[in-house]
Structures are given as structure tokens and as C-alpha cells.
Chains A and B, each alone.
Chain A
Amino acid sequence: MKLSYFPGCTLKNHARNFEDSTLYAMDKLGVEAVELDRWNCCGTVYSLSTDDLMRQVAPIRNLLRTRERGDSQLMTGCSMCFNTLKRANNRARANEEDLASMNDFMYDEPVDYAGDVDVLHVLEVVRDQIGFDAIRERVVKPLEGLRVACYYGCMLVRPNEAAIDNAENPRVLEDLITVLGGEPVDFSHKTECCGAHQTVDKPEIIADKTYDILGAAKAQGADTVAVSCPLCAFNLDHRQEATLQKHSDFHTMPVVYFSQLMAIALGGSESVLRLDLHHTPPGPLLTGKGLL
């Protein structure tokens, strides 16, 4: 199966670990992710103002690029790209006038966007197109004894129109970890926001959030927290230093992308994991569990 693929900016630099492991896992599962040969930043956050249509043009252009390839589905791994692309698409589809204005802004494009591309998150492809049974068959290194707290954050589950699962108690990541042979733990903070972009000028708030979120995971006996968003990853992993400074009883904990756990279970070597990009190293944990 071939799918058009939108990486987003952060997967090309700070989150190479997310991209490399995702592409490895997809390949192992028979999905060829074909990166759009011309794509642009989606704008990160979906614009919430009614009259701000100009802000919707960036995400929509990527859907036009998909159409140009003759494809009607676009897959992305970054939760924030997914949410922004999906909501812009929903808006274009729901309102003909808005779509016409967006197309007017893009006068330099040879064809108009007609609302005919579906935006998919990697986890949706995993669950709905590949299927958990097919994944189970391909697991060569089960994540035995690895206790994982699955963290969805906001953008995978809110609002309903862009949610890949139930907003208050999503299960898709837990189901995936189970299929990979790991043990998902009950996790009270799985959809509790990490503080997002406040990390730029108010890292002290993120320190509190990370303290609460990782503390809740630890209390359930989790070894690690699995995420699907490079901003969640930055806040929960790289802000552990600030967290330790503010909360002296904080215990550091490795944070990984769900795709890295997939890559491990599907037989990937350490090179696709890019563990050098983590702040709190997952290496000792993974080695201890016999997974590296």
C-alpha cells in the first residue's frame, strides 16, 4: 500500500527519532510512505477566528499537493500537523464560500482544491488500514515486561471533529502496545495538556505539568511514557531538567514515541531509533528489558 506522507517541520530536525522509526515501522508493515515532494509548514495551530481564512491556506496547500499526485489520502505522524490539516480540511468541506475564498488566495495554483483529500494520522492507518492482527503477526521482539503509560495529549483527541478516538478515554495506543507485547498501564493523565507553546517563555509552567504527568505515570508503575507529538515529547522529556530544578522530589523517566516502540518490536536496529535525540536516555531501560 502506498500513501502520501506529510512529515512536518519538526520531524525533519528535532524529532528525527519520530520520523525514522515511523518510516521503518510503516515499511515493515507494508506501507510505503511517499513524502510529498513539495510541502510547506501547516502553521502548527489551527486558526480559531472566523475571519482568518488566510491562515487556512497553508494547510490546504498541502492537500492540493496530495491531489496533484493523484492521491486522495494524506498521512502524517505529528499530532499537531494532523489536527491543523484535518480541521482546515473540515472547514473547507463544510463551507463552500470559505473554500472559494481560500482558492482565491491561492490564485497561483493551477487547480482549485475541491475538499477531496482525507487527512489520516499514522495511528489511524495502523488501526484501520493495517489492523492490529496483521501487526501481531509481524512482531519479532515483543516488548515483554515493558510498562508503558500512553499519552495522547490534546491534538489527537480534541475537538471531536478531529479526534482519532474517544476524547476522555482513548484506547488506540494501549491496544497497540498490547499487540506489541508490552503492558499499558492505567493512566489518569493521558489526555491532560502538557502546557504546549508556553514552553517558549514560561518553562516553569511546563515543569509543573511534566511533574504531574510523569508523576502519575510513575505512580502506576510505568517504565516509560509513549507520545505522538514532538511538542509533547519536548515538554515531557527535555523539560525534565527544569522540572527537577523546580521539584526536588521529581524522578526522571524516559519518554519515547509510540513509533519507536513499534520499530523495536518489528525488529528495527538502534539506528532507526535515534536515541541520541532524547534528553533522559531510554537506552538503559531498553537494554535492561532486553530490547536493544
Chain B
Amino acid sequence: MTVFVSRDKINSGFTSKVQRLADQNLMACYQCGKCSAGCPMAAYMDIPPNQMIRLAQLGMEEELLDSEAIWLCVSCMTCNMRCPKGVRIAELIESMRQIKLRARQDHLQVETIPTADLRAIPPIALIGSMRKFTS
């Protein structure tokens, strides 16, 4: 992926908003890649976790908020447990989802789930996906 780094983006406030919502310091990340190496969803993501962190450091709001990757993370906490710098990647990705959801941009349209699925899928999965994917 080609991205253009600019002072405007870096100072746009996106970086600090993500940090505030997650109570994390993005700048602690030194790009070792361990989070992506153990992430169960990385193979399906358009931007792997370590790159999400890098882009967030640079204020790349559009690239991140329009990605599939933020919705693929399931908060399994594997990355958090293994990051040598103690960065809570899962919290940072959750805050990116929250920025979308708080603008009422839901990822899941519950009304499109077939009735048969609603019956077959247990509440633990339905409520989990509604909590993660809807506002």
C-alpha cells in the first residue's frame, strides 16, 4: 500500500483521539511485528495489526476507518499478551471501530441476517457481533 505522509494528517487529531479512547501510547510501538505474527485474523486482514498501529501513528484516518481489518479483529487479546512494549493493540483497534460506530456507521445490518440464522446462532454470538459491529 502506498500512503502519503503529511504534517496535516499527523496533526489532524486522529492519533490523539485513538490514543485517548484506548488509553494507550501509540508511539511506544517499535514495529517488531509480533502482534501480527500471532494474530488469528491477520491472514484475512487488508492491513495487519502492526501496520494498523503504524498508520495510526501517522494519522492515516481514512486508510484505517475504510479498512476491513478493523472489523476483522475479534479482540482475542493474543497481541496484547505478547507485545514486548506493552501496547494494547486490541484497545487501539476497538477505538477505531468506535470512531466509526459513534458516527452511526454500522458494520453489520442486523435486519439482513436470515431468520434461520437468527434461530441457529446462539445469543452469545449475535450479541457479541452486535456489540462490536453496531452503534
Contacts and interface: CB of A to CB of B under 8 A. Distances in A.
B115 to A, nearest CB: 14
Given A158-B77, A199-B121, A200-B125, A50 B132 contact: no
A164 interface: no
A49 B22 contact: yes
A209 B125 CA distance: 16
Contacts of A9: 123-124, 127
A22 to B, nearest CB: 16
Given A45-B128, A48-B91, A49-B94, A198 B74 contact: yes
B5 to A, nearest CB: 27
B22 A48 contact: yes
A159 B77 CA distance: 6
A250 interface: no
Interface in A195-223: 195-201, 205, 209
Contact of B94 (A48, A80, A238): A48
A200 B20 contact: no
A195 B74 contact: yes
Interface residues of B, number: 36
Contacts of A209: 40
A15 B23 CA distance: 36
A202 to B, nearest CB: 8
B126 interface: yes
Interface string A30-45: 0000000000010111
A234 B81 contact: no
B122 to A, nearest CB: 4
A44 B128 contact: yes
Q: Is the interface of A mostly helix, strand, loop or mixed?
A: loop
A167 B76 CA distance: 12
B124 A44 contact: yes
Given A48-B90, A193-B74, A198-B74, A10 B123 contact: yes
Contact of B124 (A195, A198, A201, A231): A231
B81 to A, nearest CB: 5
Interface string B96-131: 001000000000100001000100111111111101
A230 B121 CA distance: 10
B87 to A, nearest CB: 13
Interface of B: 20-23, 40-41, 44, 72, 74-78, 80-81, 90-91, 94-95, 98, 108, 113, 117, 120-129, 131-133
Interface of A: 8-10, 13-15, 41, 43-45, 47-52, 78, 80, 154, 158-160, 167, 192-193, 195-201, 205, 209, 229-231, 234, 238
30 contacts: A9-B123, A41-B127, A43-B131, A44-B123, A45-B75, A45-B131, A45-B132, A48-B91, A49-B21, A49-B91, A49-B98, A50-B21, A50-B22, A50-B23, A78-B124, A154-B78, A158-B77, A159-B77, A167-B81, A193-B78, A195-B40, A195-B41, A197-B129, A198-B72, A198-B74, A200-B108, A200-B126, A201-B108, A201-B129, A229-B124
